[in-house]
Amino acid sequence: MKKRYLAPFVLSALFFAACGGGSNSGEQQASTSETEHAADNSMVSPNADKPMTKGQELMAQQDCKTCHKEEMKLVGPSFKDIAGKYPNNEENVDKLADKIIKGGSGNWGEVAMLPHSNISKDDAKEMVKYILSLSSAN
C-alpha cells in the first residue's frame, strides 16, 4: 500500500525538478538567442539561396545524389569535376545526356553508372546544362 503512494510522489518530484528554477531561465534564453544567429552553414550548398534551375529540379527527382555530390567525389565524380573536364558546348551536352540515359563506365574509372532510361533526352540535357554550369571557367 505504501508503494502506491510513493510512485506519484517520486514522479511529481522529478517533474518539478525538470522544470528548473525561474531565476536562471532568463539568462539561458539570452545566451541561446545570441547563439541562434551564429548558425553552422557548413553543410549548406553555397547556392542554396538561389532559385533552382530546371536541371536542378529534375536532378532532385532522380537518384543522382546517391553517387554524385556537387563538390566532392563519392561513388562517381563530383559535378564540378565533370564540369571541369567537359567544356559547356552542345556536343558535350548531347554526349553526356546520352551517358545519363544509357549509363556506362570507363570515363571516370571502372564503376559503372546505371542507365536512367526513364529520363527523356530533353530532361537529360537540362540536367547536363546545370552540371556544366558549375565549372569555374564559366
Structural domain for 109, as ranges: 54-132
**pLDDT tier at 75, thresholds 50, 70, 90:** very high
Phi-psi region of 20 (alpha: psi -120 to 50; beta: other; left: phi over 0): left
pLDDT of residue 41: 62
Residue 107 lies in a domain: yes
Residue 64 marked ligand-binding: yes
Averaged pLDDT, 45-53: 70
The number of folded domains in the chain is 1
pLDDT of residue 52: 84
Residue 37 marked ligand-binding: no
**pLDDT tier at 105, thresholds 50, 70, 90:** confident
Spatial neighbors of 88 by CB under 8 A, at least 6 apart, are 129, 132, 133, 135, 138
CB 77 within 8 A of CB 105: no
Residue 64 lies in a domain: yes
pLDDT of residue 71: 92
Identify the residue with better confidence: 93 or 111: 93
What is the CATH number for 117?
Answer: 1.10.760.10
Residue 102 lies in a domain: yes
Residue 31 lies in a domain: no
CA distance 75 to 70: 12
Could you report how far apart the first and last alpha carbons of the chain are, in Å? 80
**pLDDT tier at 63, thresholds 50, 70, 90:** very high
Query: Which CA distances in Å does 132 have to 84, 100, 128?
Result: 8, 14, 6
Averaged pLDDT, 24-46: 56
- Grid coordinates belonging to 47: 547556392
| pTM confidence score | 0.62
DSSP conformation letters of 25-43: HHHHHHHHHHHHTS---TT
Averaged pLDDT, 96-119: 91
Residue 52 marked ligand-binding: no
